[in-house]
A and B are shown apart, each in its own frame.
Chain A
Amino acid sequence: MNELKNKNEETAGATPFRRGGALKADKITMAHGSGGKAMRDLIDDVFIKSFDNPAMGEMEDQARIDLRALQAEGDRLAFTTDSFVVDPLFFPGGDIGKLAIFGTVNDLAVGGAKPLYLTCSMIIEEGLEIDTLRKVVSSMREAADLSGVSIVTGDTKVVDKGACDKLFINTAGVGVIPKGTDIGAKKVKPGDKLLVNGVLGDHGAAILNARGDMSLTSPVLSDCKPLYELIENFLKAAPGTSSIRDATRGGLASAVNEIAETAGVGVLLNEDDIPLRKEVRGFCEILGLDPLYLANEGTLVAFVPAEQADDALAAMKNLEAGKEAAIIGEAVEGTSGRVIMQSSFGGKRIVDMLVGDQLPRIC
Chain B
Amino acid sequence: MKYVDEFRDPEMAKTLLKQIEALTLEIPKASKRPLQIMEVCGGHTHSIFKFGIETMLPDCIELVHGPGCPVCVLPMGRVDDCIAIAETPNMIFTTFGDAMRVPGSKKSLLQAKAEGCDIRMVYSPLDALELAKNNPDKEVSFFGLGFETTMPSTALTVLQAEADSVENFSLFCNHITIIPTIKAILDSPDLKLDGFLGPGHVSMVIGNSPYNFIANHYKRPLVVAGFEPLDVLQSIWMVLKQIKEGRHEIENQYNRIVPDDGNNIALQSIGKVFELREFFEWRGLGSIDHSGVKIRDEYAKFDSEKKFDLPSLKIADPKSCQCGEVLKGVIKPWECKVFGELCTPETPLGSLMVSSEGACAAYYQYGGALMEAKKAEAEKTAS
The judgment on whether A and B are partners is yes
**Which residues in A have their C-beta under 8 angstroms from that of B355?**
361
Contact check: which of B52, B98, B110 meets A348 at CB < 8 Å? B52
Contact check: which of B46, B51, B146, B150 meets A343 at CB < 8 Å? B51
Contact check: which of A278, A288, A345, A350 meets B10 at CB < 8 Å? A345
Contact A213 B1 (CB under 8 A): no
Stretch of B84-92, B214-222, B362-370 lying at the A interface: B362-370
Rounded to whole angstroms, the CA-CA distance of A361 and B17 in the bound complex is 29
**Which residues in A have their C-beta under 8 angstroms from that of B49?**
349
Q: Known: A349-B51, A349-B367. Contact between A359 and B345, CB under 8 A?
A: no
Minimum CB–CB distance for B94 against chain A, Å: 13
B244-274 residues with Cβ-Cβ distance < 8 A to A are: none
Q: Known: A346-B52, A348-B52, A350-B369. Contact between A360 and B101, CB under 8 A?
A: no
**Which residues in A have their C-beta under 8 angstroms from that of B345?**
355-356
Contact A359 B1 (CB under 8 A): no
Contact A347 B346 (CB under 8 A): no
Contact B52 A345 (CB under 8 A): yes
Task: Give the A-B pair count, Cβ closer than 8 A.
Answer: 100
**Which residues in A have their C-beta under 8 angstroms from that of B98?**
359-362
Report if B13 contacts A (CB, 8 A).
yes
Rounded to whole angstroms, the CA-CA distance of A349 and B53 in the bound complex is 9
Measured as residues with beta carbon below 8 angstroms from the partner, the interface class of chain B is 35 or more
Contact check: which of A282, A338, A344, A347 meets B54 at CB < 8 Å? A347
**Which residues in A have their C-beta under 8 angstroms from that of B10?**
344-346
Contact B150 A363 (CB under 8 A): yes
B360-383 residues with Cβ-Cβ distance < 8 A to A are: 364-369
Rounded to whole angstroms, the CA-CA distance of A343 and B100 in the bound complex is 29
Minimum CB–CB distance for B72 against chain A, Å: 12
**Which residues in A have their C-beta under 8 angstroms from that of B334?**
none
**Which residues in A have their C-beta under 8 angstroms from that of B366?**
349-350, 352
Contact A281 B369 (CB under 8 A): no
Report if A340 contacts B (CB, 8 A).
yes
B327-383 residues with Cβ-Cβ distance < 8 A to A are: 344-346, 355-357, 364-369
Contact B8 A359 (CB under 8 A): no
Report if A131 contacts B (CB, 8 A).
no
**Which residues in B have their C-beta under 8 angstroms from that of A340?**
369
Contact B121 A360 (CB under 8 A): yes
Report if A285 contacts B (CB, 8 A).
yes
**Which residues in A have their C-beta under 8 angstroms from that of B145?**
362
Q: Known: A345-B229, A360-B98, A363-B149. Contact between A355 and B365, CB under 8 A?
A: yes
Contact B55 A344 (CB under 8 A): no
Total number of A residues with any Cβ neighbor in B under 8 Å: 26
Contact A359 B14 (CB under 8 A): no
**Which residues in B have their C-beta under 8 angstroms from that of A344?**
8, 10
Report if A318 contacts B (CB, 8 A).
no
Contact B51 A345 (CB under 8 A): yes
Contact check: which of B56, B150, B356 meets A346 at CB < 8 Å? B56
Contact A352 B368 (CB under 8 A): yes
Rounded to whole angstroms, the CA-CA distance of A344 and B13 in the bound complex is 11
B 1-43 binary contact with A (CB < 8 Å = 1; else 0): 1001000101001100100000000000000000000000011
**Which residues in A have their C-beta under 8 angstroms from that of B56?**
346-347
Report if B97 contacts A (CB, 8 A).
yes
B 208-238 binary contact with A (CB < 8 Å = 1; else 0): 0000000000000000000001000000000
Report if A335 contacts B (CB, 8 A).
yes
**Which residues in B have their C-beta under 8 angstroms from that of A288?**
46, 356
**Which residues in A have their C-beta under 8 angstroms from that of B149?**
363
Minimum CB–CB distance for A285 against chain B, Å: 6
Most buried by A among B49, B52, B149, B367: B52
Contact A361 B14 (CB under 8 A): no
Rounded to whole angstroms, the CA-CA distance of A170 and B366 in the bound complex is 36
Contact check: which of A213, A278, A348, A361 meets B46 at CB < 8 Å? A361
Most buried by B among A287, A335, A349: A349
Whose C-beta in chain B lies nearest to the C-beta of A338? B368
Rounded to whole angstroms, the CA-CA distance of A236 and B364 in the bound complex is 41
Contact B52 A361 (CB under 8 A): no
Q: Known: A355-B365, A360-B97. Contact between A348 and B55, CB under 8 A?
A: yes
Rounded to whole angstroms, the CA-CA distance of A363 and B8 in the bound complex is 19
Contact B346 A355 (CB under 8 A): yes
B 45-62 binary contact with A (CB < 8 Å = 1; else 0): 010011111111000000
Rounded to whole angstroms, the CA-CA distance of A282 and B1 in the bound complex is 8
Minimum CB–CB distance for A260 against chain B, Å: 13
Rounded to whole angstroms, the CA-CA distance of A53 and B239 in the bound complex is 73
A 272-307 binary contact with B (CB < 8 Å = 1; else 0): 000000100110010110000000000000000000
Report if B65 contacts A (CB, 8 A).
no
Rounded to whole angstroms, the CA-CA distance of A225 and B211 in the bound complex is 55
Q: Known: A346-B10, A346-B56. Contact between A356 and B51, CB under 8 A?
A: no
Q: Known: A285-B4, A349-B366. Contact between A361 and B53, CB under 8 A?
A: no
**Which residues in B have their C-beta under 8 angstroms from that of A361?**
43, 46, 97-98, 355-357
Report if B133 contacts A (CB, 8 A).
no
Contact check: which of B53, B97, B201 meets A359 at CB < 8 Å? B97
Rounded to whole angstroms, the CA-CA distance of A117 and B149 in the bound complex is 55
Contact B14 A346 (CB under 8 A): yes
**Which residues in B have their C-beta under 8 angstroms from that of A350?**
365-369
B 98-114 binary contact with A (CB < 8 Å = 1; else 0): 11110000000010000
Contact A349 B52 (CB under 8 A): yes
Minimum CB–CB distance for B46 against chain A, Å: 7
Contact check: which of B13, B14, B55, B150 meets A362 at CB < 8 Å? B150
**Which residues in A have their C-beta under 8 angstroms from that of B53?**
345, 347
Report if B132 contacts A (CB, 8 A).
no
Rounded to whole angstroms, the CA-CA distance of A356 and B42 in the bound complex is 20
**Which residues in A have their C-beta under 8 angstroms from that of B1?**
278, 281-282, 285
Contact A345 B146 (CB under 8 A): no
**Which residues in A have their C-beta under 8 angstroms from that of B110?**
356
Contact A348 B346 (CB under 8 A): no
Rounded to whole angstroms, the CA-CA distance of A213 and B122 in the bound complex is 8
Whose C-beta in chain B lies nearest to the C-beta of A342? B52
Minimum CB–CB distance for A165 against chain B, Å: 15
**Which residues in B have their C-beta under 8 angstroms from that of A349?**
49-52, 55, 366-367
Report if B158 contacts A (CB, 8 A).
no
Rounded to whole angstroms, the CA-CA distance of A349 and B145 in the bound complex is 29
8 residue pairs A–B, Cβ–Cβ below 8 Å: A282-B1, A285-B4, A346-B52, A355-B345, A359-B97, A359-B98, A359-B356, A363-B150
- Interface pairs A-B: 10 shortest CB-CB: A347-B52, A359-B97, A355-B345, A362-B96, A360-B97, A350-B368, A349-B52, A349-B366, A345-B51, A348-B52
A355-B345, A360-B121 known; 7 new pairs, CB 8 Å cut-off, are A278-B1, A340-B369, A347-B52, A352-B365, A361-B43, A362-B97, A363-B42
